[in-house]
Structure 1
Amino acid sequence: MRYALYFTPAEHDPLTEAASRWLGRNAFSSAEYPAPDDTELPAGEITRLTADPRRYGFHATLKAPFELKDDVSEAELMGAVERFAAETPAFDIPRIVVGQLGPFFALVPASLHPPLQDFAAAVVEEFEPFRAPLSQADIDRRKPEKLTPPQRENLNRWGYPYVMEEFRFHMTLTGPVEPELAGPMREELDRRFAAFANRPLLVDGLAVFSETERGAPFTIHSRLPLAPALEHRKTAP
């Protein structure tokens, strides 16, 4: 069993519904959907190009998948997540957009947002005591020889290269897209996610995803709401 700490909107949030139907699977319910047919991209191409994120479900990685240490239990992990969520205020990402990270497309912040960076770093650090050390196979899978020195240091220290200063929030919408399909894919995603792009995104929960065995689809074990946003506290009677 592996666990991961991700952000995803609530189960019935319109963004969750739209992204789940685009990816072909809902990580809350495990419901599967056919590839969209209201697109100029061939359905078979959409199925192929969303295969990788479909397995993980719609999310943004905060703490990458990990096995628990032998001396900690799932109940202890969940208790810590509940405490952390209850003590951490929700906040807005001011604006999200459809972006491209190398050959991948994702919903990303329009610009670096320090409160988001701080939140992600806090999740990584807070739950590090629960993570079992990586196996050599896990380390090799990350191809450390291709990582930058800070990324290799993160891999050794935190079990994942893209944390702390290397962290870039992204809610993945595709696997790698070939250059000849990048233009049509960009047009399709701009159209399909127009209702959500160029608007704020409320980060109001922390989700525990789980994977029963390596390669199995990730499902949402629990999604814990964050505390009320600070500005809401200030205006409360």
Structure 2
Amino acid sequence: MDMSYPSVTRLGTKGEFMGHSRFAVYYIAPEGELARFGAQWLGWDVIAGAAADPLPIAGRDDVTMTPRKYGFHGTLKPPFRLAEGTDPDGLKAAVSGLAARLPAARCDGLGLTRLGRFLALTPLGETEALSHLAASCVTDLDDFRAPASPEELAKRRGAGLSPAQEANLVAWGYPYVRDQFRFHLTLTGRLPKPDLPHWEAVLQAALPPLPAPFVINSLGLVGERPDGRFELIHRYALTG
């Protein structure tokens, strides 16, 4: 097991998970400069499950409002409610088993990127191994996902989906998986076009040195708390 990560398991007094309404599998940066920056930039520490001291940058609070509740992360399996007949302990065991079968994924590094009108960190170089890792999380854990509600489906379709994205939505409850997946660590909400260069410059100045290579060597099981914010439940080393 990768002992570079502290083990985080949030349980109640009888061992049950603490009121999480949805779950997801994320890449969570290991504790260090990048994780600290992400928490301070967004104002929420997904590892600690607590507010972080925000960076004193004018306007930062407004542009990070949308991604704040999720914490600094890269999605591998998007948030889902548990299917009938499943439970958090079973999910935890399944994520542990999946991590034991999958190897770490390596890319050349990370770079600041425009994704439409959002800013994010995205991987550089070959991403086939990372895409395979995410696809495995989506498909191998899908028995734990409750079907998306009609309201959720309508909201997704309101953004305008391609035929491939619609097929993913029907199959997996989310449009941007498998062939439509692009790994990213979100840094802002949707920005007005004229503001993009300003926030690119702000982020370039604020970012710590980015990892090169960039390696994903664990799966983070996260849960949505009653207050709507996500926190790390447990981290599983990829040892396959």
TM tier relative to shorter chain? 0.7 to 0.9
Give yes or no for contact 2:63–2:189 (8 Å, CA) kept in 1: yes
Structure-to-structure mapping, 1:144-155, within 5 angstroms: 146-155=160-169
Asked if 1:116 is matched to 2:136, the reply is no
Residues 145 and 58 of structure 1, relative CA distance in 2, 3 Å threshold: closer
Whether 1:183 aligns to 2:203 is no
Indicate the SS of the match to 2:41. helix
Q: CA offset at residue 30 of structure 1?
A: 2.4
**In structure 2, what is the equivalent of residue 74 of structure 1?**
88
Match of 2:39 in 1: 20
Q: Is residue 216 from structure 1 mapped to residue 228 from structure 2 by the alignment?
A: yes
- Please, which of 200, 213, 226 is the counterpart of residue 200 of structure 1? 213
SS in 1 for 2:234: strand
Aligned counterparts of 2:192 and 2:159: Cα–Cα separation in 1: 24
3-state SS of the aligned residue for 2:51?
A: coil
Give per-residue Cα distances to partners, 1:37-72, cap 9 Å, x unaligned.
2x4xx2xx1101001111000111111111111111
Q: Which amino acid aligns with 2:103?
A: P
Matching of residue 132 in structure 1 with residue 152 in structure 2: no
Supply the RMSD in Å over aligned alpha carbons.
1.6
Q: Which amino acid aligns with 1:54?
A: R
Partners of 1:30 and 1:186 lie apart in 2 by 28
CA-CA distance at 1:87 after TM superposition = 1.8
Q: What's the TM-score once normalised by structure 2's chain length?
A: 0.87
Q: Where in structure 1 do 4 or more consecutive aligned residues deviate above 4 Å?
A: none
Deviation readout 1:83-133 (Å, 9 max, x if unpaired): 111221113221210001011100001245111111111111100111111
- The 8 Å contact of residues 106 and 171 in structure 1, kept in 2 or not, is answered as yes
Equivalent of 1:106, from 120, 124, 137? Answer: 120
Alpha-carbon distance in structure 1 between the residues aligned to 2:124 and 2:105: 16
Higher helix proportion (structure 1 or 2): 1
Partner of 2:23: 3
- The code of the aligned residue for 2:183 comes to F
Contact 2:107 2:125 in 1 (8 A): no
Task: Give unpaired runs (5+ residues) of structure 1.
Answer: 229-237
